[in-house]
């Protein structure tokens, strides 16, 4: 398969294939039964050959073991990827997914060194603040993030799930290269505020969970398709039994568009995301090589106006996302 087209990550000077790879689910969130390091290593190592070059992880996935996995997997191909990790969330209890925010400058300084060690590299292309800490002025946290660019440990810095106000305050100190927030056919709020902000300020937008944590692919027909109590989604209102039932109506529409295009529901969900902003690179997560290939294929799928209109008018999702 020919590598997929690349996109510029805003004005940061970075670029990456139009579809990236989120590595979280390889080690965290979807239940231990889905963890297979050998298979995940194969997925990561196959990504650049397909043009999937934005590789996303975070120190809190696991915690720490996802960065270790990514570091080992990338060792022979480090220069072929645009590597992104995150700091600012600290796991208190991995079993119950309890965590707290830490935006203190000292935490940022320590976290990047630890991440680089686990990732077996001397720099990341993108260092992201996972969440803004309400107890620390964002200017202080962002100042410490900017120090990492000056030190050569990060090429650019980005935020995650930040508001327009937080983006604006941070950008006044050092350019915000990217914003990573949840965005998909069933989570469209970013279209009304943060995506326009990114467009106006030369920032890339990195949609996380672009497949609705797997739901938009049609793979989850009932809560029995989740990974049991260890699956983060089981705690999520949008994945309650009632919401899963109600939200099948969304999948049915996505499937209908996919059938017309001879594509899969996952490809249609990703193609809709790609159509919303040219400096946007979604990072679908998968632990399976055939799905990596399928998801990359969405970069070649063109939705015509009629498809976009049909998808734009999908019903709102039942259940809050958190």
Those residues with Cβ within 8 angstroms of residue 252's Cβ, 6 or more apart along the chain or in another chain:
none
For residue 298, the minimal CB distance to ligand NAP (Å) is 9
187 interacts with ligand NAP by CB under 6 A: no
286 interacts with ligand NAP by CB under 6 A: yes
225 interacts with ligand NAP by CB under 6 A: no
Distance of CA 153 to the CA centre of its chain: 21
48 interacts with ligand NAP by CB under 6 A: no
Q: CB nearer to ligand NAP: give 262 or 305.
A: 262
Upper half-sphere CA count for residue 8 (Cβ side, 13 Å): 9
Round to whole Å and give the CA distance between 148 and 144.
Answer: 7
Under rule CB under 6 A, which residues in 239-268 are in contact with ligand NAP? 266
Segment interacting with ligand NAP (CB under 6 A) among 16-24, 70-78, 145-153, 244-252: 16-24
35 interacts with ligand NAP by CB under 6 A: no
Those residues with Cβ within 8 angstroms of residue 3's Cβ, 6 or more apart along the chain or in another chain:
17, 49, 50, 51
For residue 109, the minimal CB distance to ligand NAP (Å) is 21
Q: Which of 30, 61, 127, 277 is catalytic?
A: 61
295 interacts with ligand NAP by CB under 6 A: yes
Closest CA to 25 of 234, 285, 226, 219: 285
Angle at 63 between CA 98 and CA 141, to 5 degrees: 80
Residue of this chain nearest to ligand NAP (CB atom) = 22
Under rule CB under 6 A, which residues in 188-217 are in contact with ligand NAP? 208-214, 217
Report how far apart, in Å, the C-alpha atoms of 87 and of each of 3, 60, 102, 146 are: 31, 8, 8, 13
Judge whether 199 and 286 are in contact, CB under 8 Å.
no
51 interacts with ligand NAP by CB under 6 A: no
Q: In what order do the strands lie in the sheet with 178-182?
A: 21-22, 54-56, 82-87, 124-129, 154-160, 178-182, 204-208
For residue 141, the minimal CB distance to ligand NAP (Å) is 16
Under rule CB under 6 A, which residues in 266-285 are in contact with ligand NAP? 266, 283-285
160 interacts with ligand NAP by CB under 6 A: yes
In the residue annotation, 30 being an active-site residue is answered as: no
Q: CB nearer to ligand NAP: give 150 or 277.
A: 277
Those residues with Cβ within 8 angstroms of residue 284's Cβ, 6 or more apart along the chain or in another chain:
19, 20, 21, 22, 210, 211, 266, 270, 295
180 interacts with ligand NAP by CB under 6 A: yes
47 interacts with ligand NAP by CB under 6 A: no
Those residues with Cβ within 8 angstroms of residue 305's Cβ, 6 or more apart along the chain or in another chain:
none
Contact with ligand NAP (CB under 6 A) among 9, 10, 17, 25: 25
Element (H, E) at 156: strand 154-160
230 interacts with ligand NAP by CB under 6 A: no
17 interacts with ligand NAP by CB under 6 A: no
SS3 track for 202-214: CCEEEEECCCCCC
23 interacts with ligand NAP by CB under 6 A: yes
> Residue 79's CB: how many other CB atoms inside 10 A?
8
Q: CB nearer to ligand NAP: give 213 or 279.
A: 213
Q: CB nearer to ligand NAP: give 92 or 306.
A: 92
Q: Given the rule CB under 6 A, which residues bind ligand NAP? A: 22-25, 30, 56, 130, 160-161, 180, 208-214, 217, 219, 266, 283-288, 291, 294-295
- Active centre residues (catalytic): 61
């Amino acid at each position: 398969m020919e590598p997929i087209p690349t996109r510029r990550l805003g004005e940061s000077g970075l670029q990456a294939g139009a579809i990236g790879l989120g590595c979280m689910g390889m080690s965290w969130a979807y239940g231990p039964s889905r963890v297979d390091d050998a298979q995940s290593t194969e997925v990561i190592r196959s990504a650049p050959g397909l043009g999937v070059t934005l590789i996303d992880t975070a120190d809190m996935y696991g915690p720490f073991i996802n960065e270790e996995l990514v570091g080992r997997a990338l060792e022979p191909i480090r220069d072929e990827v645009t590597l992104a990790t995150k700091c600012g969330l600290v796991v208190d209890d991995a079993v119950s997914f309890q965590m707290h925010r830490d935006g203190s400058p000292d935490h940022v300084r320590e976290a990047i060194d630890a991440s680089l060690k686990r990732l077996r590299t001397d720099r990341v292309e993108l260092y992201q603040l996972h969440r803004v800490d309400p107890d620390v002025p964002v200017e202080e946290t962002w100042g410490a993030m900017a120090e990492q660019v000056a030190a050569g440990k990060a090429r650019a810095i980005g935020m995650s799930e930040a508001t327009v106000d937080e983006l604006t305050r941070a950008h006044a100190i050092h350019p915000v290269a990217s914003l990573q927030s949840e965005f998909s056919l069933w989570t469209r709020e970013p279209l009304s505020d943060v995506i326009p902000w990114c467009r106006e300020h030369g920032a890339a937008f990195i949609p996380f969970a672009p497949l609705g944590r797997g739901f938009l692919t049609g793979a989850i027909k009932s809560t029995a398709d989740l990974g049991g109590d260890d699956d983060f989604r089981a705690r999520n209102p949008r994945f309650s039994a009632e919401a899963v039932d109600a939200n099948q109506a969304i999948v049915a529409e996505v499937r209908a568009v996919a059938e017309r295009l001879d594509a899969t529901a996952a490809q249609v969900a990703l193609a809709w995301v790609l159509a919303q902003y040219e400096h946007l690179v979604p990072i679908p997560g998968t632990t399976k090589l055939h799905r990596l290939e399928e998801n990359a294929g969405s970069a070649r799928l063109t939705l015509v106006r009629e498809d976009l209109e049909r998808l734009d008018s999908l019903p709102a999702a039942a259940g809050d996302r958190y």
